[in-house]
């Protein structure tokens, strides 16, 4: 009898019923409300190019939510995301391929953008081996 109770989706406390009432929650991992600067730009060369430097509002293992005044974001759009982003010439950041999964208009006039991280592209170095006086 105990095995049958474990196999069923219900529990004596009604936990399964409570989970169903949270059906709108689709996140697979918890979010942390931290702010990190990131650089976002479209990965599709056919799309109009923009470069957006924004701070995160919340971050999870597989996604980021932020606010932006940039109108070019579209659902399904693929982005290159560098996070954390800095202008420090010796800093190393990671670049990711991400997809816009949420876009909503906020009362402030900004857009709330949710992106899903698809894959890591690699480390990004911002330093240059060319001496300052010899750049072309």
3-state secondary structure 81-114: EEECCCCCCCCEEEEEEEEEEEEEECCCCCEEEE
pLDDT higher at 71 or 124: 71
Is 10's pLDDT higher than 70?
A: no
pTM: 0.67
Whether domain 29-129 has CATH 3.40.50.1980: the reply is no
Residues 67/41, Cβ–Cβ less than 8 Å: no
* Mean model confidence pLDDT for the chain: 77
Residue 77: how many CA atoms within 13 Å on its side-chain side? 25
For residues 108-128, average pLDDT: 83
In this structure, the number of other CB atoms found within 10 A of the CB of residue 91 comes to 13
Model confidence at 130, pLDDT cuts 50, 70, 90, reads low
Is 92's pLDDT higher than 60?
A: yes
pLDDT digits (tens, 9 = 90+) for 40-62: 999 999 889 999 999 999 998 88
């Amino acid at each position: 009898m105990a095995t049958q109770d474990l196999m069923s989706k219900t529990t004596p406390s009604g936990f399964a019923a409570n989970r169903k009432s949270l059906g709108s929650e689709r996140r697979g991992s918890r979010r942390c409300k931290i702010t990190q600067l990131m650089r976002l730009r479209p990965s599709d060369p056919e799309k109009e190019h923009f470069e957006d430097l924004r701070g995160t509002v919340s971050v999870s293992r597989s996604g980021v939510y932020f606010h932006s005044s940039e109108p070019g974001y579209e659902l399904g759009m693929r982005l290159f995301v560098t996070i954390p982003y800095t202008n420090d010439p010796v800093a190393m950041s990671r670049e990711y391929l991400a997809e816009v999964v949420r876009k909503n208009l906020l009362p402030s006039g900004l857009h709330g953008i949710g992106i899903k991280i698809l894959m890591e592209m690699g480390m990004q170095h911002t330093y240059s081996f060319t001496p300052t006086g010899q750049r072309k």
